[in-house]
Structure 1
Amino acid sequence: MKNVIITGTSRGIGYELALLFAGSGHNVLAISRNIPQALAEHEKITCLSVDIATPESRPLIETFLTSTWGTADIIIHNAGALLHKPFTQITAEEFEYIYRVNVFGVANLNRAALPYMKQGGHVVTISSMGGVQGTVKFAGLSAYSSSKGAVITLSELLAEEYKDKGIAFNVLALGAVNTEMLREAFPGYEAPLSPVEMAEYIYNFSLTGNKFFNGKVLQVSSTTP
């Protein structure tokens, strides 16, 4: 059984991932600002209500890992913020917020948890097709897609930095998934995949993908681009 850290577990893909791992007997640290009752009541899930984008989250995570698990096997960077707005209308505060959640939150958790990971560890970052160079870009997603491109490069760099320690870093660049976050940003749009379907894919990849990939970006989309 693995010790699995998942961010963005209050709803959508992260919520389903936490239930999938816990339901299979793995230990889960579910990190989100809001804690769903179903996760809080599960015996295999520990919920930590913190804003992963703030420096204050790091000592709380480190304290848990030191006092409870001792080691971590898998990190899934799933937390994300999406803003659909023309570039000239995005305030500096809004742009910074997207980067705090989508980029700095990933860096914060890595700094906190990587010292507890050993050979065979797997760090999976959930990015977006919009963050992959050469894919079609959509107007109104300048903050979101550029932040998702930033974490792709960060993951590639960390894969190189930690390869001698046997810790793998991979990115899953997702296409549209019918989450609440997507529906809020694009009212009326129906994505082809459900959060449960995507969570099942990420679950399997997190457990086995590091045997085949390191420092890679896998495009997970049922449509082109």
Structure 2
Amino acid sequence: MIDRLKELERPLLIKAAAVCAALLAAVFLLQTDAGPEGSVQSADNEEQTESASEPAPEDGPVVIEIKGEVVSPGVYTLPYGSRTVDAVEIAGGHTEQADLLAVNLAAVLMDEMSIHVPSQLDESMSEQAPADPAAEASGGTVSLNQADANMLQTLPGIGPAKSEAIIQYREEHGSFASLDQLTQVPGIGEKTLESIAPLLTLH
């Protein structure tokens, strides 16, 4: 009888052992799957860290143009935070004619910036240019005694007829001794004189 019971219990033990083995295998598989997921999350965190350490777009290189009195004018790419002096240097330096006093060498470069290094000759030529005899040096006023018809017509209220009348009066009576004398010219009254007087000079 006992042997018969043992024979009946043996299949049950085998089934129980099989169930335990299946449960252990399932637990092992779940732990194995969790590993790669953890690795993926770790990789994602690393990518986020790398993204945060990358420079912002405004910290990238700047592309500028430099021309004028430099050895090699052109378009150059410089690191963010560079200054005008760096642009002059990368362009081969300045020429002997360069007027560096007219350039802010300490200015920070911006993307798409254009830099012009002027020449000392430009300034000297402008200083030597002959002055317009029909204009006053202090403010460019019109000379009542030297201006031609075209120059006189730049005055408000003075057209071709009045400008010719002024020139004719000048030829007949000589140079104007005062601005008030303009009222003796036909067609020019006190109101006209008042509007153009600040623009006139006798010299």
Q: What's the TM-score bracket when you normalise by the shorter of the two chains? A: under 0.3
Larger strand proportion, structure 1 or 2? Answer: 1
Q: Give the TM-score taking structure 2 as reference length.
A: 0.21
Structure of higher CA gyration radius = 2
RCO greater where, 1 or 2, for CA within 8 Å and sep 6 or more? 1
Q: Give the TM-score taking structure 1 as reference length.
A: 0.19
